[in-house]
Structure 1
Amino acid sequence: MKRRLGVSIYPDHSDVTVDEAYLKKAADYGFSRIFMSMLEVTEGKEAVATKFTHIIHFAKELGYEVILDIAPSIFDELAISYDDLSFFHQLGADGLRLDVGFDGNKEAMISFNPYEMIIELNMSNDVAYLDNILTYQANKPMLYGCHNFYPQNGTALPFDFFMKCNERFKNQGLRTAAFVNSQVGKMGPWDINDGLPTVEMHRFLPVEVQAKHLFATNRIDDVIIGNAYASDDELNALSQINPYQVTFDIEFVADVNPVEKEIVKTMQHYRRGDITDQVIRSTEVRKKFKNHENKPHDHLQMFQKGDIVIGNDQFGKYKNELQVVLEPHQDERKNLVGHIIPEEQILLDFIYPWSKFKFNEK
């Protein structure tokens, strides 16, 4: 399933010209889906229709998929019914995210809406909600899953619980989404906004590290910036991510040599299938560079987790093998060539036997 990046906008709190500029900029960076909140509408059906039709059609012209976040109160506010989604279809939306669920039968019924609108389900509970909906023979191709975000510091999901929630949806092959937090965005749906991540450990991390972590789980297909508006630098950083394999940001040591830099930066690395606890071994590279000299340097210290080391001329057949350190150890036959930046060491947990990975100089 192709992976995507998305942004969020809040038309009931924002200026439409600012939203348009933001959506245009994000589209230029390759973003392709929008979370658009309708939870705060209070202006009446006609005014809401005018406002949302304009911004949705603008987004669609830029190639976005647009999902509206709705709750039962919205239907009461607009005097419409879940049994008739024509209002949202006329707005131009591609789908609806149900912030609050029903009895399973209702979700199954509306998944057969005549407009083929996507019905996006709340993923942030480890209960049999999805199983119940599917029991009622829902229109499965029209179902997505999307996590919540959490504006209050300390209230987002623990990572282990997040992963348990994901399994229910990925086991059914559904498209999934979760939110990351811009470190400069100030706008969300409510008056409290300590950031809008899905996972609590992400709240204060750089946004690209959050996204890398979500993609590395292989359980999230769409990563959406929860708050508005992300900076140009954040949009650019996210656009540079490879969503299909871990790419570590690294810093080289001062004495790294050209051969070592070439090994690190230009090769497709993968972890050996017969793994070890001490290091992640990328062994194929030594075959290509077996005739390249590599004198010892930075080889006498204790190597630490996240260090990148390469076998030097003292290492015999293992010369120029690249390793990523998982456990502290010392070996003078290896040169220290760089370090994975501290924030990205959480990604090491997702380098399994045969996992592919690359490096990017920070």
Structure 2
Amino acid sequence: MKRELGISVYPDHSDPQADRDYIKKAAELGYTRIFMSMLEVTEGKEKVSEKFGSIIHYAKELGMETVLDIAPSIFNDLGISYDDLSFFAELGAEGIRLDEGFDGNKEAMLSYNPEGLAIELNMSNNVAYLDNILSYEANEPFIYGCHNFYPQEGSALPYDFFIDCSKRFKNHGIKTAAFITSQSAEYGPWDVNDGLPTLEMHRHLPIDLQARHMFATGLIDTVIIGNAYASDEELEKVAAVDRYKVSLGIEFVPDVTEVEQKIVADPKHFRRGDITSTAVRSTLVRVKYADVANPVHDNTQEFQVGDVVVGNDEFGKYKNELQIVLEPHSDARKNLVGKIPQAELIMLDFLKPWTKFQFVAKN
């Protein structure tokens, strides 16, 4: 399933022109999805229709699809029936996210709505919710999954629980989504805003690392920035993330050589299939640069986890092989060329046999 990027917009808390400017920036950078909350709606149907419809149709013109986050109370407040979702379709929405679930049969019936709206389910509970819905012969292509976000510090999901929840959906081939958080955005749907991530471990990480980590799990198809408004720099950094290849930041040492920089920048790194616990080995570069000299430097210290090393001229046939250190060791035949930042060591867990990977220079 192709992967995509999204932003969040909160029309009940924002200026319509600021929303439009934000959506336009995101669309130009390749974002294709909008999460829009209707949980706080307090105005009547006519005003809600005007406010939300205007911004949703504008986004649609720019190639972005919108999923509306709704609660059961919305139906009562706006006088809408579950048996008629035409109101949301007329707004221009591509789907509705059910913040709260029903009995399984109701969700299954909703997935057959004649408007063709996707029915997005809450993924952040490790229970057989999805299995129950599918057992009622739901219209599976129109069932999506999306995690919650958590505005309170310390309240978001732990990583292992997130993985278990996500697998329940991904094992059925359901389209999935989760949230990352901007470090500069000022608001979300509620009056508490300590960021809006799905994963607690992401709350204070750089936004592009959050996105790279989320995609690297292989369980999330759509990564959405939960709070608004992310800065232009943050939007650009997330847009630049490779959605399919594991990407690791690297901080080069001062004496890194030109050939070592070329080796690190090579676009075809992959971990050898016959792995070792000592290091991740990328070996094709030693063939590509076999005839290029690589003098000794930064080779006498003990290498630590996350160090990136390249074989020097003393390493015979292994000269110019790139390795990422997984266990501390010393070897004077290897030059230290850079370090993966401490916060990014979480990415090492995704370097499995044959995993394709690349580096993102941080200096």
Q: TM-score, normalised by structure 2?
A: 0.99
Match of 2:76 in 1: 76
1: CA distance between counterparts of 2:2 and 2:135? 27
Match of 2:15 in 1: 15
Amino acid at match of 2:94: D
1:238 is paired with a residue whose SS is helix
Q: Structure 2 stretches of 5 or more lacking a match?
A: none
Q: CA RMSD of the aligned region, Å?
A: 0.7
How do 1:32-51 residues align onto structure 2 when only pairs under 5 Å count?
Answer: 32-51=32-51
Q: Tell me how many residue pairs correspond in the alignment.
A: 362
The answer to whether the 8 Å contact 1:300/1:331 transfers is: yes
1: CA distance between counterparts of 2:119 and 2:55? 20
How do 1:1-362 residues align onto structure 2 when only pairs under 5 Å count?
Answer: 1-362=1-362
**Offset, 1:248:** 1.4
1: CA distance between counterparts of 2:312 and 2:97? 55
**Offset, 1:359:** 1.1
2:137 is paired with a residue whose SS is coil
Amino acid at match of 2:306: G
Per-residue CA deviation, residues 159-184 of structure 1 (Å, 9 max, x unaligned), is 00000001110000011000000001
2: CA distance between counterparts of 1:171 and 1:356? 23
Per-residue CA deviation, residues 58-78 of structure 1 (Å, 9 max, x unaligned), is 110111011000000111111
Q: Structure 1 stretches of 5 or more lacking a match?
A: none
**Offset, 1:35:** 0.2
User: Which stretches of structure 1, 4 residues or longer, exceed 6 Å deviation after superposition?
Assistant: none
Amino acid at match of 1:94: E
The answer to whether the 8 Å contact 1:249/1:341 transfers is: yes
2:141 is paired with a residue whose SS is helix
**Offset, 1:286:** 0.8
**Offset, 1:276:** 1.0
Amino acid at match of 1:211: A
Per-residue CA deviation, residues 139-163 of structure 1 (Å, 9 max, x unaligned), is 0000110000001100000000000
**Offset, 1:267:** 3.8
Amino acid at match of 1:165: C
Which has the larger displacement, 248-257 or 2-11?
Answer: 248-257
The answer to whether the 8 Å contact 1:130/1:168 transfers is: yes
2:227 is paired with a residue whose SS is coil
- The share of aligned pairs that are identical, in percent, is 65
The answer to whether the 8 Å contact 1:267/1:285 transfers is: no
The answer to whether the 8 Å contact 1:305/1:326 transfers is: yes
2: CA distance between counterparts of 1:301 and 1:32? 47
2:265 is paired with a residue whose SS is helix
